[in-house]
Amino acid sequence: SEVLNKTFASLRAAHQREQSLMADKHEAELAQTQAEMLAYRSQITPHFLFNTLESMRSLAHHYGAEPIEGLISGMSQMFRYSLAAPQLVPLQSELGHLDSYLSVMEIRFPKCYQIKRDIAAETLFCHLPSMSLQPLVENIMKYAFHGRISGMLLIQSFLTEGGFVVRV
């Protein structure tokens, strides 16, 4: 009887472990399904936004509203970059994003500023944090140009003994 009791106890323990493992597996599958749904939802919103922006851009093009087409195109490029850019990007990519931002600002504030670039070719593939230039330029335009009729914005990049420098 003692051997039977030990056998039944072992079977009960094994059954409990199996049930616990099945519950853990079910919880993991449920968590994975929820994560997939959240990922899917996060893709729907940008997808809808980009489709809507492209529809608006097409309409602006169709009706010959070039400034509106340019504004929408710039905004769309900015949103795509902000969603897709990795943490570190080449200066060349960051300057492209900055061009999209400046195209939007040029429509908002036409001929209020000039952009001068002094970019060393050897720095174009140096990496910096994504989305770092646009806020700098935005702050300059907001605060340094405030109350002025026009302004000059200088963007420089160069290499030094200490590394890679970008100056706005």
Query: Per-residue pLDDT for 146 more than 70?
Result: yes
Run of H or E residues at 99:
helix 91-108
* pLDDT exceeds cutoff 80 at 131: yes
Long-range contacts of the stretch 157-164 (C-beta < 8 A, 24+): 157/91, 157/118, 157/119, 157/120, 157/123, 157/124, 157/126, 158/118, 158/120, 158/123, 159/120, 159/122, 159/123, 159/126, 164/91, 164/123, 164/126, 164/128
Per-residue pLDDT at 44 exceeds 70: no
Q: pTM of the entire structure?
A: 0.65
Instruction: Over range 42-62, report the average pLDDT.
Output: 81
Report the pLDDT value the prediction gives residue 94, as an integer from 0 to 100.
94
Element (H, E) at 14: helix 2-62
- pLDDT cut 70: percent of the chain above it: 96
In tens, the pLDDT along 91-104 reads 999 999 999 988 88
Task: Give the pLDDT of residue 37.
Answer: 74
